[in-house]
Copies of this chain bind each other. A is one copy, B any other.
Amino acid sequence: MKSGIPFIDRTGADVEVAERGFVRARMPFEPNINHVGIMYAGALFTLAEYPAGLMCGATFDTERFFPIVKDVHIRFRRPASTDVTVEMRLAVEEIARIETEAAEQGKADFAIESELVDAGGVVVAVAEALYQLRSVSAPIG
């Protein structure tokens, strides 16, 4: 599944599964090589960031809520020289908390931690990202 965001779709990234509380996405190696023959850091960042938005779309009522990203901390651990995949999860209880808080207060912060893994199972980067689910009817601060 493509994201519909040109910046992301130019990378060739693909969301393979997006369902309530779970997403898996892949960043292809070839179009995202840097000057020294490994995957460019910005491609890894993109893979660590955007799938959460599609998971939100498969988890929350998109007529009532939309997510924004507030903060991302990414640590590059190993050079990536294959396609890289990521999986993200939101537990049932956390989904309920976010939904209730966003409905009541107009917004709800939530964190996603993820590991980016190469074709050999090596963790090439880890990320902690902070998102906010916002109610479409609440004023944007």
Instruction: Give the interface SS of chain A, mostly helix, strand, loop or mixed.
Output: mixed
Within A27-68, the residues touching B (CB, 8 Å) are 31-36, 40-43, 45-46, 49-50, 66, 68
Can you tell how many copies of this chain the complex includes?
2
A51 CB, nearest partner CB in chain B, Å: 12
- Chain B proximity mask over A7-37: 1 for CB below 8 Å, otherwise 0: 1101100000000000000000001111110
Listed A/B pairs (11) with beta-carbon separation below 8 Å? A7-B31, A8-B40, A10-B10, A41-B69, A42-B45, A42-B49, A42-B50, A45-B45, A71-B75, A71-B76, A72-B74
Do A75 and B70 form a contact, CB below 8 Å, given A7-B40, A8-B42, A43-B7?
yes
Say yes or no: is A91 at the interface (Cβ < 8 Å to chain B).
no
Give the residues in chain B near A92, CB-CB below 8 Å.
none
Given A10-B10, A42-B49, A35 contacting B5 (CB threshold 8 A): yes
Greatest chain B CB density within 10 A among A41, A68, A73 is at A41
Selected contact of A72 from candidates B5, B40, B45, CB within 8 Å: B45
Q: Which of B8, B42, B46, B73 contacts A73 (CB 8 A)?
A: B73
Q: For the A-B complex with A7-B40, A8-B42, A45-B72 known, give 11 more contacts whose Cβ atoms are closer than 8 Å.
A: A4-B35, A5-B34, A6-B33, A8-B40, A42-B46, A68-B76, A70-B76, A71-B74, A72-B73, A73-B73, A73-B74
